[in-house]
Structure 1
Amino acid sequence: MFECLIMGDSTGVGTASAINARRTMHCDVIAAERATAKQILAWRKSTKTYGTAILAVGSNDIPGPALARDLAKMRSTLATRRVIWLLPYSRPAAGVVNSVAISFNDETLDLARFPSKDRVHPARYEDIAKALLK
């Protein structure tokens, strides 16, 4: 059975809703509105091994070395074969997230490819789900 995890902030919540609406096998979701990387690190971790994890983190954080450390620590605790990071609309935050993704040889999906009304959230999470489920 394919196990997937979506973890993160409000972009993770929206993405999870759109993905789970399209799949009969739902992904586990560990995400909350306004969550920061430090808060996500403090959440109880799943003991499952996942085929894929989608991480939506960084939109609510100050870009810099502390964010990079938190993201690397978060990534190192995941039991998964494949990780896809959603790069935030904020270009400085996206740069930090991307650098961590590269260091772990992970994939990324840049949210800046998709329209947004507030430059934080995609206008249509269905577009994100479609791109991820391709």
Structure 2
Amino acid sequence: MLLASCLILGDSHADGTAAAVRAALGNRCTVVARAGIGSAAILDRTPAGSYGSAVISAGANDAGNPHLADNLNAIRGKLQVGKVVWLLPYDRRATAAIENVAKRWGDLVIDLAWARARRDGIHCQSYSWVARSIARAGYAGSVRVAF
């Protein structure tokens, strides 16, 4: 049973992306996101159910975790979803693990390094380009976006 057309899952990057999707597109994806949580907590919060697409941001808060790759793979394996896009954080230690999981599952990645970071070096100054990118690729549900 399809619960929602899209899911946005993860940490503060997921939260920022969800807000930008709502603001720019008026889309109502299911959002399960909390700032500051690591991959194990995201795994615990990963909802059951089916989705047309998902945006996942995990690994930014526990890039040095020796279980990161296992947690990411478990998050992906728990989802029943048509297609997935992973957000690669500014912390380059996490990107290899995320890219490996994405490649294994045939998922897309969007590198947040393309966006200017805030002074904290962790968050984007604006998540609007992420919202547009995922919408163009069909990851924010069935929304028509004109640019």
Please report the TM-score for the alignment, with normalisation by the length of structure 1: 0.92
Distance 1:133 1:44 in 2: 22
Q: 1:133 aligns with which of 128, 132, 135?
A: 135
Corresponding residue for residue 83 of structure 2: 82
State the secondary structure of the residue aligned to 1:17: helix
Q: 1:12 aligns with which of 11, 14, 23?
A: 14
Cα shift at 1:119: 2.1
Gaps of 5+ in 2: 137-147
Corresponding residue for residue 92 of structure 1: 93
State the secondary structure of the residue aligned to 1:52: strand
Distance 2:22 2:6 in 1: 10
- Contact 1:63–1:96 (8 Å) recurs in 2: no
State the secondary structure of the residue aligned to 1:59: coil
State the secondary structure of the residue aligned to 1:109: strand
Question: What does 1:1-134 align with in structure 2 at a 5 Å threshold?
Answer: 3-43=5-45, 45-47=47-49, 49-63=50-64, 65-117=66-118, 118-134=120-136
- Contact 1:41–1:70 (8 Å) recurs in 2: yes
Distance 1:78 1:35 in 2: 19
Identity %: 35
* Count of residues paired in the alignment: 133
Please report the TM-score for the alignment, with normalisation by the length of structure 2: 0.84
- Contact 1:84–1:109 (8 Å) recurs in 2: yes
Q: Deviations over 1:15-64 (max 9, x none)?
A: 001002223441000000101110111126232x1111000111101335
